[in-house]
A and B are shown apart, each in its own frame.
Chain A
Amino acid sequence: MSENHLEHPTPKKYVQIAIVLGILTAIEIALYYTEDIVGVFTDPLLIFLAIGKFIIVVGWFMHLRYENKTVNRFFIGGMILALILFTIVMLERASANYS
């Protein structure tokens, strides 16, 4: 049983979540076309929006927020390992470019 005993969303709620996802995607595209105006904030904002969409799909559509802690640990563990890999490779590349 889910450990926090949260009620699963209703179909209406799922549609509302999908609308939010659609709006976030529209904002991403708008940011892409207004890069000259938004400037240096464009990329961080795009990453922030992608993370937001990712969390919404994983949490609500994949129901991870209703799941057992063990399931959460495995999924988050995979994410952390992938981020460690990404960070190490990028740092290595940056140091190689610097030298």
Chain B
Amino acid sequence: MSSSHAYPHEPTGVETRKLGFWVFLSTEILFFGTLITTFMIFKGSDFPGMKLTDVYDIPFTSISSFILLMSSLTMVLAHNALEANDQEKTRVWLLATAMLGAVFLAGQIYEFTEFYHKGFELSTNIFSSSFYVLTGFHGLHVFVGVVLLLALWGIGQRQKGLTLEGGMNLEFVALYWHFVDIVWIVLFTVVYLI
């Protein structure tokens, strides 16, 4: 995230690993763009005897959305603490971010379970399939993010702790985490509210 160092030896002026990570995020946009497009195509498809509004639990999903949004705050505070070389705060904020991500995931599992009990299953119709594929892939990304955050937290527990050089790793994880958040910002509106 931080671009406090110049890379005159790089033709692009950006560190290659960092640029590569942004390119990766760009491909992820296309990936989710494709899934969202597919979802929108089938959104009108009804499923027997049920309305979409009967299935969704907007208050619950709103709280989940708020939790994921706040995890972006704790993530950026972790990055900020590392820049100030405050190891303790960095670890605390990393753990807080991982916990918020885990709570979001638990909420998604609960939501999926409730949907199944209401008869809205993966194979109910093409719309339900597109719903589960889209939100499921997002959940998978959150899961990967939580694992990465806990790995970073574990590294931070070592005597040497997280360093500014190693901070590049935290920077990539932070970028990934914020990306997961912006995808959910779009999904919450497109899938649940509109």
Chain A residues within CB distance 8 Å of chain B: 1-2, 8, 11, 14-15, 17-18, 21-22, 25, 28-29, 31-33, 43, 46-47, 49-50, 53-54, 57-58, 60-63, 66-68, 70-71, 74-75, 77-79, 81-83, 85-86, 89-90, 93
Contact = CB atoms under 8 A, between A and B. Distances in A.
Contact of B75 (A28, A47, A49, A61): A61
Contact of B41 (A74, A77, A93): A93
A43 B194 contact: yes
Nearest to B36: A86
A87 B25 CA distance: 21
Interface of B: 1-6, 12-14, 18-19, 22-23, 25-30, 32-34, 36-37, 40-41, 58-59, 62, 65-66, 69-70, 72-73, 75-77, 80, 174-175, 178-179, 181-182, 185-186, 188-190, 193-194
A81 B181 CA distance: 20
A8 B4 CA distance: 10
A54 B29 CA distance: 13
Given A15-B73, A25-B62, A31-B193, 15 more contacts: A14-B80, A22-B69, A29-B193, A47-B194, A50-B186, A50-B189, A61-B181, A68-B14, A71-B19, A81-B30, A81-B33, A83-B33, A86-B33, A89-B37, A90-B41
Given A18-B70, A22-B69, A68-B12, A62 B194 contact: no
Contacts, number: 137
Given A11-B77, A78-B27, A86-B37, A57 B12 contact: no
Chain A interface mostly helix, strand, loop or mixed? helix
B26 A78 contact: yes
A64 to B, nearest CB: 8
Given A22-B66, A62-B178, A63-B2, A70 B76 contact: no
20 contacts: A1-B5, A8-B80, A22-B69, A25-B66, A50-B189, A53-B185, A57-B72, A57-B182, A61-B181, A63-B2, A68-B14, A71-B14, A71-B22, A74-B22, A75-B22, A75-B29, A78-B25, A78-B27, A83-B33, A90-B37
